[in-house]
Amino acid sequence: MKKDFNEFKKYIKNKNIAVVGIGVSNIPLIEFLVSLGGKVTAFDKKEENELKEVVDKYSKLGVKFQLGKDYLANLTGFEVVFKTPSMRIDSEALVKVKEEGAYVTSEMEEFVRYCPAKVYGITGSDGKTTTTTLIYKILKEAGYTTWVGGNIGAPLFANIEKMTENDRVVLELSSFQLMTMDTSTDVAVVTNLSPNHLDMHKDMNEYVDSKKNVFKYQESENLLVLNLDNDITNKMISEAKGRVYTFTRKSEDSDAIYKEGGLYVKGKLVCKREDIKLKGLHNVENLLAAFAATCDEVSVESMKNVAITFGGVEHRSEFIRKIDGVEYYNDSIASSPTRTLASIKAFEKPVILIAGGYDKNLPFEPLAFEGYSFIKHLIVLGATKDKIKEQFSRLEKEKGIVVPINTVSTLEEAVEVAREIAKEGDIVTLSPACASFDMFPNFMERGNKFKKLIKEIK
């Protein structure tokens, strides 16, 4: 049962509120909480000179700031704390303020709790953003007023009063956002699960359990969409609280199926694979997930129109340009080995792969032992370069398979080496299999830097 947002407004008024993290989503949140009468203090590890515009603007609205290396030392005496998604609930500062009696929450938790519209929540290890975008576009094509948010799009909480029960909201949800949620979405989609974010989670069990919150609190009329072909999501069927639809490309016993070159939902042909613009079987799965999630509310025609026109999301196997017969692609979103594997398998020939980055403690063995036949040449960089090389050395020792490897220090150097190696007809792709934080603030900046370097080639 959706809660009345007026309750939240009354609760927030005159409360002493801490907002931890002054990022893209929390800046509109700060402004919104001030507009509701909250007394806000914003916390961030950045120094004041790095946030000068934000500090100047919001200080005039009465917002106080705690900034710098020891910014959490003064997280005390607050009635409400909005944490940034990546901050663990068991962190010392949050445990302490909670013991004092503070209500600890996040923007996304409150949004799902109070949003009047029907909410679709999409999570998983790979394919979240593409599936979220497909569902958003299908619902729009069907005529719904549709909003998209979570990990993509604009922050939505500040717009909650503009939404109605006839609207549709589509959220991409990470394990960090879901970890503390005790309200599930009306429609929940789990695309697939494999090891990811093990730098932040205690273990794989905690990671999987956080994902389950997307459907754990559903009611009987709600819908859960699961991947039948993934061992972990397949086992979740028995845990569903409401209705379950499944999708598959390996079986015929499912609600959304890929068979004989066609994509079907509830026994109806939506489109042929040859007609869709997205490359790769992983994108066939993303389309099937989107069809299963929306089939109760839209026509097959709406699904088909999106499937045959949607060419992909920025930073996801995004074609940049062709130079001297060589094609360059930006797949910076690929922050896990399984996502990179899916991406390189979608090409029709082995690629020159640029990989490496921040270490999330993920195993790189699959990239070597499953991916070698899809890699013509490997260029590694970043904090994980030695870990990746180690697995390809193992491949050579154990199976006698050699993949040529170059080690570089910067993305600029990676592009230079790729240019020297590549011959007419080759494909070069940045698909890092790692997060970006060792060298870039996020995958978008990494992808944009790569695109800039490719576009500047004479």
pLDDT of 37 strictly over 80: yes
DSSP string, 343-410: HHHTSSS-EEEEE--B------HHHHHTTGGGEEEEEE-STTHHHHHHHHHHHHHHH-----EEE-SS
Amino acid at 28: P
Nearest CA to 419 out of 411, 430, 428 is that of 428
Cβ-count burial of 62 within 10 angstroms (0-12 exposed, 13-18 middle, 19+ buried)? exposed
The residues, any chain, with a CB within 8 Å of residue 310's CB and separated by 6 or more, are 133, 134, 137, 277, 278
What architecture is domain 5-105? 3-Layer(aba) Sandwich (3.40)
Indicate the domain borders of the chain.
5-105, 109-307, 318-455
pLDDT of 82 strictly over 90: yes
pLDDT at residue 346, rounded to an integer: 84
CB 246 within 8 A of CB 227: yes
pLDDT at residue 199, rounded to an integer: 63
CATH number of 318-455: 3.90.190.20
What average pLDDT does this structure show over 261-277?
95
What average pLDDT does this structure show over 162-172?
97
What average pLDDT does this structure show over 31-47?
94
Nearest CA to 109 out of 229, 192, 25 is that of 25
Lowest mean pLDDT among 100-109, 191-200, 271-280, 328-337: 191-200
pLDDT at residue 90, rounded to an integer: 86
Going by DSSP bridges, is the β-strand pair 118-123/168-172 parallel, antiparallel, or unpaired? parallel
Task: Copy the structure tokens of residue 201.
Answer: 């989670």
**pLDDT confidence bin for 196, thresholds 50/70/90:** low
Q: Which of 55-69, 83-97, 186-200 has the highest mean pLDDT?
A: 55-69
Nearest CA to 198 out of 190, 189, 207 is that of 207
Decide whether 5-105 matches 109-307 in CATH topology: no
pLDDT at residue 230, rounded to an integer: 93
CATH class entry, domain 109-307: alpha beta
Determine the 3-state secondary structure of 146 from DSSP. strand
DSSP 158: G
pLDDT at residue 176, rounded to an integer: 86
Percent of the chain with pLDDT over 70: 98
- CB < 8 Å & 24+ apart, contacts of 81-84: 81/17, 81/18, 81/19, 81/20, 81/105, 82/17, 82/18, 82/19, 82/20, 82/26, 82/29, 82/33, 82/106, 82/107, 83/20, 83/21, 84/20, 84/21, 84/23, 84/26
CA 264, 266, 267: angle at the middle one, nearest 5? 60
Q: For residue range 374-397, list pLDDT tens digits in order.
A: 999 999 999 999 999 999 999 999
What rounded mean pLDDT belongs to the chain?
Answer: 93
Nearest CA to 176 out of 36, 296, 50, 25 is that of 25
Q: Name 330's bridge partners.
A: 318, 430
What average pLDDT does this structure show over 27-55?
92
pLDDT at residue 93, rounded to an integer: 92
pLDDT of 284 strictly over 90: yes
pLDDT of 262 strictly over 90: yes
pLDDT at residue 201, rounded to an integer: 63
pLDDT of 359 strictly over 80: yes
Distance CA 235, CA 256 (A): 18
What average pLDDT does this structure show over 124-132?
91
The residues, any chain, with a CB within 8 Å of residue 328's CB and separated by 6 or more, are 319, 320, 321, 322, 427, 428, 429, 454
What average pLDDT does this structure show over 4-21?
95
Q: For residue range 93-118, list pLDDT tens digits in order.
A: 999 999 999 999 999 999 999 999 99
